[in-house]
Structure 1
Amino acid sequence: MVDKINGGKGFGPLGGINRTGKPDVAKKSGEAGKADRVDFSSALQQASKTQATEATQQSARAEKLQALKAQIESGTYQPDLEKVAASVLPFIMKDS
């Protein structure tokens, strides 16, 4: 099947490859000497901010859970029954 596709030449290079083994790249005038550059600083800064925010949120959540556990253990926890009903209602309506 390869012979049919390549006309009996077998496997060969897919693109133009020069003798050094590097692909041929057409260089535009004025761009000779410019190197490719990748800047990750903004992405890394955003990732760092996200991690800091997550850590803050996790610590706040842990504090809130500790306070709720203490209220449950002491018997002073009183949930908002309207919020409980509103969150349970979609599940009840889905099953019926």
Structure 2
Amino acid sequence: MVDRIVGHRGYGPVGQMGRTDKAANVKKNDGGKQTDRVDFSSALKDAEKVGAATSAQETARMDKIAALKSQIQDGSYKPDLNKVAASLLPFLMRES
């Protein structure tokens, strides 16, 4: 286990120590040649879609929990005892 990280630069990307800005130097010296380019826009759009879907699911889950809490508080919650028993049975069988 690592107790501490020795160094004065702190945390950062791996492989950055002692590296000069080679990309800037190449761009200046290449005489207008095209360089490699990475476009993350499609990946970011996909991440936004996943985030929105997760947010919608979380909102629906919170609404369901709030409804169940109110049913429990006013005494109208009636669980299906067969489903409860069916979900407990594998747990009880594993314990014995």
Mean Cα deviation higher: 33-42 or 56-65: 33-42
Q: How does 1:19-34 map to 2 (within 5 A)?
A: 33-34=33-34
Q: CA deviation at 1:34?
A: 3.4
Equivalences, count: 67
- Please give the alpha-carbon distance, in whole angstroms, between the structure 2 residues aligned to 1:35 and 1:82: 65
SS in 2 for 1:52: helix
Q: Which residue of 2 aligns with 1:71?
A: 71
Name the TM-score, length of structure 1 as normaliser.
Answer: 0.63
1:11-57 CA-to-partner distances (Å, cap 9, x unmatched) read xxxxxxxxxxx6xxxxxxxxxx3321111011101110111111111
Larger Rg: 1
Q: Which residue of 1 aligns with 2:58?
A: 58
Name the TM-score, length of structure 2 as normaliser.
Answer: 0.63
Q: Which residue of 2 aligns with 1:39?
A: 39
Q: Which residue of 1 aligns with 2:93?
A: 93
Q: Where has structure 1 moved over 3 Å in runs of 4 or more?
A: none
- Please give the alpha-carbon distance, in whole angstroms, between the structure 2 residues aligned to 1:85 and 1:42: 47
- Please give the alpha-carbon distance, in whole angstroms, between the structure 1 residues aligned to 2:42 and 2:83: 41
SS in 2 for 1:69: helix
Q: Does 1:80 align with 2:80?
A: yes
Unaligned runs of 5+ in 1: 1-21, 23-32
